[in-house]
Amino acid sequence: METLFDSACRYMSDSELIYEITNNKKIVTETEQQSGEYDLNGLFSSLTPGRKKVATAAIELYRRLQSRYNGQDAIRCSQDINALMYPFLWDLPNEELWVLALNNASRVIKKVRVSVGGITQTAADVRLIMRILVEVSATQFVVVHNHPSGSKQPSREDENVTERLKKAGTLFDIHMIDHIIIAGDAYYSFADEGRL
């Protein structure tokens, strides 16, 4: 049985792949004239609604598959968290905040996007996060968000949210094990920096 990675697409040139996606020779020609530099937003905006939906779904599925961390069963360190969440957050133009609900063995019970914000901030509703954790009987949790600016350094608000979440978790006897900020290819871990 042919798998996704055995398909003929793997051996196609970039131009051939763009044609498969767009079915438009004009777009392929324009891309070739740009010396192989692709404007993916422009490429997607040129698609018909049906093709755009399929392409977007394929990319989302690929991101989800990439977020599986090589069969690893438990979150053991900040690298595991980054490996899990990087495909979702590394290249977003806006901030998103996610919570990972973990059981006592540090296995992910549930992964939830809590909020979507603007370029420089997103809301972190402590009550909503605690409700999510209580509903799934989590004993531990991780908070992850991204910085579209590419700076991994936490803001004052990031520090305040971390402190509020840690206190709320203590009240509910749910241990906060980390708060990760993903900034492009880099990340910041409050736990690694001894700030939890």
Q: What is the pLDDT of residues 165-196, one digit of tens each?
A: 999 999 999 999 999 999 999 999 999 999 98
Alpha-carbon separation of residue 146 from 43, 119, 164, 183 (angstroms): 25, 10, 19, 6
User: What pLDDT digit, counting tens, does each position of 111-160 carry?
Assistant: 999 999 888 778 889 999 999 999 999 999 999 999 999 999 999 999 99
Q: Taking the domains of the chain in order of start, what are their residue ranges?
A: 4-66, 78-189
Q: What's the whole-number mean pLDDT along residues 41-47?
A: 76
User: What pLDDT digit, counting tens, does each position of 8-20 carry?
Assistant: 666 677 778 888 8
pLDDT of residue 70: 46
Cα–Cα distance, 42 to 33 (Å, whole number)? 15
Sheet holding 96-102, edge to edge: 108-116, 96-102, 140-146, 175-183, 186-189
pLDDT of residue 118: 82
pLDDT of residue 1: 41
pLDDT of residue 65: 67
User: What pLDDT digit, counting tens, does each position of 87-119 carry?
Assistant: 889 888 899 999 999 999 999 999 999 999 888
pLDDT of residue 135: 96
* 104 φψ region: left (φ > 0), alpha (ψ -120 to 50), beta (else): alpha
pLDDT of residue 120: 79
- For the chain, the residue count is 196
Question: Which CATH homologous superfamily contains domain 78-189?
Answer: Cytidine Deaminase, domain 2 (3.40.140.10)
pTM flag (> 0.85):
no
pLDDT of residue 25: 83
